[in-house]
Chains A and B, each alone.
Chain A
Amino acid sequence: MTNGSPSERAISPGKSGQSTAVRVRDVTMDFGNGALAVSNASFELETGKFLTILGPSGSGKTTLLRMIAGFETPTSGEITVNGKPVDSAPPHRRSIGMVFQKLALFPHMTAAENIAFPLKMRRFNPKTIPRRVDEFLDLVKLGGYGNRRINELSGGQQQRVAIARALVFKPELLLLDEPLAALDVKLREEMQLEFRRIQHELGVTTINVTHDQREALVVSDDIIVMDGGRIQQHAKPVDLYRAPDNAFVAGFLGVASFINGHAVPGGLTSGENFLSGTHAGNFADGTAVRGAVRAEQIRIAAESGQLAACDTRLTGTVRDTIFEGERQLYVVATDELPGITFRVYHHDPESFGLFEIGTRVMIGWNARDMKIFEFRAS
């Protein structure tokens, strides 16, 4: 490039770790079927970071990813990758590697041929190709499997071939379109850590799309939560979990119980009851609000004395109890708030199974444990 402007050169890859790799500005996608698939999405991603777009199916996350890949053109808005509009080159001229949901490996080629394909198409020196392929087979821990046909490999191994094929030509950007969705839990967790390791090793800027909140929390530097075509929140995993911006995010990550009510200083009122909580924003008294308490932030005890430290206390009955291995989940219905069932985690293995169905219990929390959001009908 001889005609690159100074501003373009400043954000070229490799110059600094702080440059912007992907910039999405006011992107909207209208498929013409009523609702907008993506509505006014804007975000930036630093070079070398791992971003996950998290949302339920139909939230627009895959559409957003496909627009970044350049497979779909936004109705309005602009997407740039390393300063260049993504549609300034046809798909095969872009430096974007992609792992597809169903992997889309070439079934008539061996693992090594699949990985060599991008190198051949991108006119790498033929003499260097075999060594590079071996290098990437090793990177994804498939050394010695190069001659296997795709259908001779297990799901996890196919996964690894797809990653190697997407990365072997050193793309500026790696896109992952829910590639782990089809794997069983054990393998999925293993591959999540693999993604993270490989991404750290190569330092490639990555955007991952998933509906699996655990995966998002485990692998990402940054998470964008989407719902109904809109970006709900963009934050680091810890901040997202600890300080959700709205009730949707609070409900989507982790397990929470919700109480609708009206804002009062230091909490909310629901019917006759005052419940302590923290307002997320400045609400006038009487604003319709929705409080969210996470299952692990509610304490449970046999009698009120053991919950002396809690500033909100409710009495109730255990409706169900589920043993999940590392914790016990209690479903509790309270006398004060009929119609709401609270989900409560109990993490002390010594007292697992303490309360049986039908037992009278107390639950409680402190003001900092319940986040209170403005109520949005949805």
Chain B
Amino acid sequence: MISRSQRVIFWCLVWFCIVILSVPTIIVVGASLTGGNIITFPPDGFSLKWYRQIALARDLQQAFSRSIIVSLICLAVSLPVGTLAGIALTRFRLRFANAIQIYLLLPFTIPLIGSGIGMMLVFGSWHILGNIWPVGVALAVINLPFIIWSVSSSAAALDSDLELAAASCGAGRFETFLHVTLPGVMPGVITGGLLMFVLAMTEFLVSLLLTDARTVTLPVQIYNNIRSIITPDLAAVSSVFVLIALLAVWLLDRLVGLEIFLKSK
């Protein structure tokens, strides 16, 4: 039995968390709707003029489309790599499986500033800095553990005899992968993919080190703007970010169901 005082404490904690987690979002969205010229909360009147403004701002628009491109490149790299690695680590009896797993999860243990500077040096010596695609590749590398986790938790949930069953049905190794293993881990692939996309859209630190004036992505652009003058249009941009994230979560729920996502390691 749960006593009255326990219930009171429980709900206090729940509401505390809900408020703490949502206050920044509420403030940003609120501030973006202000009618005045300085960023305040509560907003000074109601207007969508800052949204009109960012829709017309060329630098923000370009940065936004660069961010989309970076995220797509990140997806193009991490989807095949993360999916294959996630499947291999759970479904096959690999030699050195543990060592490989640690190696693939290594990006997690290195501070972003460290890996960012490292990649800046390497990309610089290869003379590829100043392009957009290396940013996408870099974001794929630092966030790879997320998709590997997501895929391998999906793969671990599959029946261990599934591949043998496919073989006894007459499917060769490639057919087994295509028709049985891959569809089986698809929830994990979709979850991991959306996660990678959102993470790449919002990544700041490594992007800051790898971009310059020609290749600046949206989070870096926002940072640049803050450094000069803080206007409500930044709140509007941030609100667009929140919207994109919500969209991703909604998509996730429609495609695989949120409970699968929440259950993944």
Contact B168 A69 (CB under 8 A): yes
Which residues from 143 to 180 on chain B have a C-beta closer than 8 Å to any C-beta of chain A?
158-162, 164-172, 175-176, 179-180
> For the complex, is A96 an interface residue (Cβ under 8 Å from B)?
yes
Q: How many chain-A residues does the 8 Å CB contact rule pick out? A: 26
Point out the residues of chain B lying under 8 angstroms from A91, CB to CB.
164, 167-168
Q: List, in ascending order, chain A residues with CB within 8 A of B175's CB.
A: 92, 121
**In the complex, residue of chain B having the shortest beta-carbon distance to the beta carbon of A118:** B169
Question: In the docked arrangement, what's the CA distance between A98 and B165, Å?
Answer: 7
Among A99-107, A236-244, A245-253, A311-319, the stretch in contact with B: A99-107
Does B194 count as interface, using CB distance less than 8 angstroms? Answer: no
B105 within 8 A of A: no
A121 B171 Cβ-Cβ under 8 A: yes
Q: Once the chains are docked, how many angstroms separate the CA of A100 from the CA of B166?
A: 11
Query: B169 touching A108 by the CB < 8 A rule?
Result: no
Interface presence of A166 (CB below 8 A) = yes
| A103 vs B171: C-alpha distance when bound (angstroms) | 17
Q: Are B164 and A118 in contact (CB under 8 A)?
A: no
Q: How large is the interface on B (under 10, 10 to 19, 20 to 34, 35 or more residues)?
A: 20 to 34
**Bound Cα distance A104, B169 (Å):** 11
Asked, given contacts A104-B159, A107-B184, A117-B179, whether A92 binds B170 with beta carbons under 8 Å apart, the answer is: yes
Chain B residues with CB below 8 A from A166, complex form? 168
Tell me if A169 counts as interface (CB < 8 A to partner B): yes
| Contact call A104/B183, Cβ cutoff below 8 A | no
B170 & A169 in contact (Cβ 8 Å cutoff):
yes
Return the CB mask of B121-139 against A: 1 if under 8 Å, else 0.
0000000000000000000
Chain A residue nearest to B171 in the complex (CB): A121
In the bound complex, what is the Cα–Cα distance between A100 and B172 (angstroms)?
18
Pair B186/A108 contact, Cβ less than 8 Å:
yes
Contact across chains for B168 and A96 when beta carbons are under 8 A apart:
yes
A102 to B162, CA, bound (A): 9
Q: What mask results when residues 72 to 110 of chain A are scored 1 for a CB within 8 Å of chain B, else 0?
A: 000000000000000000111110111011111111100
Residues of B close to A93: CB separation below 8 A: 170
Known contacts A117-B179, A121-B175; decide if A104 and B170 are in contact (CB<8 Å). Answer: no
Q: How far is B184's CA from A107's CA once the two chains are assembled, in angstroms?
A: 7
User: Nearest chain B CB to A354's CB is how many angstroms away?
Assistant: 48
B180 touches A102 (CB 8 A): no
Complex-state Cα separation, A93 to B168, whole angstroms: 8
A97-B168 contact given A108-B183, A117-B179, CB 8 Å threshold: yes
Find chain A residues with CB under 8 A from B171 CB.
92, 117, 121
Which residues, 331 to 357 on A, are CB-close (under 8 Å) to B? none
The answer to whether B169 touches A117 (Cβ under 8 A) is yes
Measured CA separation A106–B169 after assembly (Å): 11
Bound-state Cα–Cα, A127 to B159, Å: 31
Do A104 and B164 contact each other (CB < 8 Å), given the known contacts A121-B171, A122-B170? Answer: yes
Chain A residue nearest to B164 (CB atoms) is A71
Which residue of A90, A100, A106, A122 contacts B164 across the interface (Cβ within 8 Å)? A100
| Minimum CB–CB distance for B67 against chain A, Å | 33
> Contact: B165 with A104, CB < 8 Å?
yes
Chain A nearest Cβ from B190, distance in angstroms? 13
- When the two chains form their complex, are residues B159 and A103 in contact, meaning their CB atoms are under 8 A apart? yes
Please determine whether A102 and B159 come into contact, CB atoms closer than 8 angstroms.
yes
Q: Which residues of B contact A121 (CB under 8 A)?
A: 166, 169-172, 175, 179
Contact A102 B161 (CB under 8 A): yes
Which residues, 150 to 208 on A, are CB-close (under 8 Å) to B? Answer: 165-166, 169
The answer to whether residues A118 and B180 also contact, given A104-B161, A108-B186 and a CB cut-off of 8 A, is no
CA distance A117 to B175 in the complex (A): 11
- Residue in contact with B169 in the complex, picked from A90, A101, A102, A165, CB distance below 8 Å: A165
Cβ-neighbour of B170 out of A100, A107, A118 (below 8 A) = A118
12 A-B residue contacts at CB 8 Å?
A92-B175, A100-B164, A100-B165, A104-B161, A104-B164, A107-B158, A108-B183, A117-B166, A118-B170, A121-B169, A121-B175, A165-B169
- Other A-B contacts than A91-B167, A106-B183, A107-B184, 10 sampled, CB-CB below 8 A, are A92-B169, A92-B175, A94-B168, A98-B165, A102-B161, A106-B180, A106-B184, A118-B169, A118-B170, A122-B169
B: residues with CB less than 8 A from A are 158-162, 164-172, 175-176, 179-180, 183-184, 186
